[in-house]
Structure 1
């Protein structure tokens, strides 16, 4: 568990389903752009939740659920996972950074706060030497956040018919 000024980051749990599902059951925009994130049905949300629980079991790391310290409401998720997306070993063999903030909470700096804390945690792990992420080039808010967090673009690749920018971040010296 990681505490920040406004959030607690912790692994997902089965008991999170009812509070976690709304983040994925409704249309969500990525930042202030018009690129929608996928809408999932309950079965897909449940499978996603189980995927993250299993990720922690298999690898000792994974996505964190971001919980508001005052209200205990789920505000988003941030963390790292192996997705095996087919971008080649330079991408697929590194933990992939991810972040999503729930509708209505974007633009408040929660993603940056949570991701900074998650990266500091990952920097202490052996697999944290190099982490990657992929971002749609039209998602300028996420690109700006990635750059503020030390990610640098190192290539582009097609993913499901969309050319995405590939970024990496090298561990900060301790």
Structure 2
């Protein structure tokens, strides 16, 4: 299965393509972007692996990640989607597809994350499951706010690679 293309008023969510690597590497190489997502910039190779993982999830799980672009310009804005990372986190806190999103600084404060994350959840509700979870570092206030707008409720806290993270649940 390939990622379906989703459209919103301002965005296109589509499957990753090889030409996305330069933009993904620039985004994931930014200290600003990774401050609350692992805490350190990622290499070009790690950005490539993330794109491949997002594509592979569609085949293995029936859900995965999208590249998010500006509908008017085609500009790469970020990545968003669902995963099953098999990270060994507590099952009572992590169940169903795990939502995740990351966007470049040019989008911050403009509602892009909320718009993209709303669209992907509408797709999930219709095609896979009404339940999902997400994991967010407590200091990532912007992502916590997006999660709340989408209907996530805080369910607990755990450690991810030694870093405290909050867990959230949406749906039943």
TM-score calculated relative to the size of structure 2? 0.89
Give 1:77 deviation, angstroms. 1.0
For each residue in 1:31-54, what CA deviation from the matched residue of structure 2 results, as whole angstroms up to 9, or x when unmatched? Answer: xxx747431111111111111111
The reply to whether residue 143 of structure 1 matches residue 160 of structure 2 is: no
**Which aligned pairs between 1:1-174 and structure 2 lie closer than 5 A?**
1-29=5-33, 35=36, 37-126=39-128, 128-170=129-171
CA distance in 1, matches of 2:40, 2:94: 22
CA contact (8 A) 1:85 1:92 kept: no
Q: Give the gaps of 5 or more residues in structure 2.
A: none
Give 1:14 deviation, angstroms. 2.0
Give 1:29 deviation, angstroms. 4.0
Give 1:91 deviation, angstroms. 4.1
Q: Which moved more, 1:87-96 or 1:143-152?
A: 87-96
Q: Give the gaps of 5 or more residues in structure 1.
A: none
CA distance in 2, matches of 1:20, 1:59: 23
Q: How many residues align?
A: 167
TM-score calculated relative to the size of structure 1? 0.88
For each residue in 1:91-148, what CA deviation from the matched residue of structure 2 results, as whole angstroms up to 9, or x when unmatched? Answer: 444110011111222111000000001100000123x221000111111221111111
Distance 1:17 1:142, change over 3 A: same
CA contact (8 A) 2:33 2:102 kept: no
